[in-house]
Amino acid sequence: MKKKEENKTIMRQWANVLLIVGVLFLFIGGFVLAYEGMNPDMVDKKELYSYNSDASMDYKVYLKDNSFFTSEYLGMNKQYISSIIDHIDVTGNYKFNSTKRLDYTYNYSIVATVLGTYDDNGESTQIWSKSYPIFTSERIKGTGSTFSISKPVSLDYNTYNDLMKNFKEEFGLSVDARIDLTMNVNINAGLAGDEEKNLNETDKISLKIPLLKQTISISPDYTDEGKQVIYETYDDNYVDITQLSLGIIIMILAVIIFVMTGRKLLVLTKKSEYLITFNKIMKEYGDIIAETKSAPVLKNYDVIKVKSFNELVDIEEELHSPIICYEVKPNSKCMFIILNSGVAYKYELNEKDFKDLIRE
């Protein structure tokens, strides 16, 4: 029976150990919840909407009268003879798409920037540049999930080419030159009906057009960045009171359960140590121990308390008197007694005597 009780106690110990582990995870969860409540900008933010844009610059290279080309212009992605270029017509295209309706404002501009570069020991160094605005729009307002721009402009190629020829001649430098024709689109937007404008974007779409060359090819310089996501933002001093309070409550609850369970575990450990010791004594010395259900009357005996059960065994071997075992409190306290010639040799086994453990 004592062995079965010992096993039950050990099982209860393990159950409480697992409960303490669960409580620790509960405390960690409460801490994380409270931390996120105090720092909402450091956790996964709520997605408000996403958007993407499609941009391109289409162009036609118009030619001067000549004996070789019968067409008025040449299309895109060809090699062009610069001496017969008259002008270049360019159309800047831009389309914005959002997953939600937005209140937006935007404006755009098209600028030609002439750059002169010098080859300094194999490294190209910019030595001069100047921007020439070609078109600037008014600020346009609207509400919706999409808007588009299509703006044609004409670029006087020869004017810029002559400019860089004069620059080269005046300074006597062997320079390379080009035009960066750029459309800048500036967007400011937010969810429809919301005062906060959390989208501030500037997109640039460019064409690189060489100058001072006998033949040229025009190359685009813009990147499709794909889907962009706008997330909910918080003020620097914003605190999620509900989440913070819930996290603190969970941590307090976890601490209370931890203390209660910890005390219970220590008490069970005391009981377990008692039962293990008792069962060990009964297993090793059961042939010299007689269990009794009634407490021995010791008022007519001189009672001598011994410090350990081993001392009591030594006395039994000397006197050849049986050891009487009486359980004072089930599973918690018992007495081992040898009665001989008016003397009672007594050893008490008590769960409270196990050190480093709290008392009930």
The model's pLDDT over 27-67, given as tens digits with 9 standing for 90+, comes to: 777 777 676 666 655 555 678 899 999 999 999 999 999 99
In a shared domain, residues 16 and 59: no
Residue 273 lies in a domain: yes
Rounded Cα distance, 297 and 340, in Å:
13
Tell me which of 3-7, 163-167, 183-187 is least confident: 3-7
In a shared domain, residues 111 and 164: yes
Residue 343 lies in a domain: yes
Question: How many independent structural domains does the chain possess?
Answer: 3
In a shared domain, residues 209 and 316: no
Residue 359 lies in a domain: no
In a shared domain, residues 242 and 252: yes
pLDDT at res. 6: 46
35's tokens: 């931390």
Residue 357 lies in a domain: no
Rounded Cα distance, 273 and 350, in Å:
10
In a shared domain, residues 66 and 199: yes
In a shared domain, residues 214 and 333: no
Using the 8-state DSSP alphabet, how is residue 42 labeled?
A: G
In a shared domain, residues 199 and 83: yes
Query: What range defines the domain where residue 10 resides?
Result: 1-45+235-282
Identify the CA nearest to 309 among candidates 269, 274, 268.
274
Q: Helix (H, G, I), strand (E, B), or coil: what is residue 296?
A: coil
Residue 13 lies in a domain: yes
In a shared domain, residues 26 and 95: no
Rounded Cα distance, 57 and 72, in Å:
20
In a shared domain, residues 61 and 129: yes
In a shared domain, residues 307 and 320: yes
Residue 181 lies in a domain: yes
Tell me which of 85-99, 246-260, 305-319, 338-352 is least confident: 246-260
Tally Cβ neighbours within 10 Å of residue 164: 20
CA 248 to chain centre: 21
Using the 8-state DSSP alphabet, how is residue 59 labeled?
A: E
Q: What Å distances lie between residue 226 and 51, 54, 150, 190, CA to CA?
A: 8, 9, 20, 19
In a shared domain, residues 226 and 341: no
Residue 215 lies in a domain: yes
Using the 8-state DSSP alphabet, how is residue 45 labeled?
A: P
Residue 288 lies in a domain: no
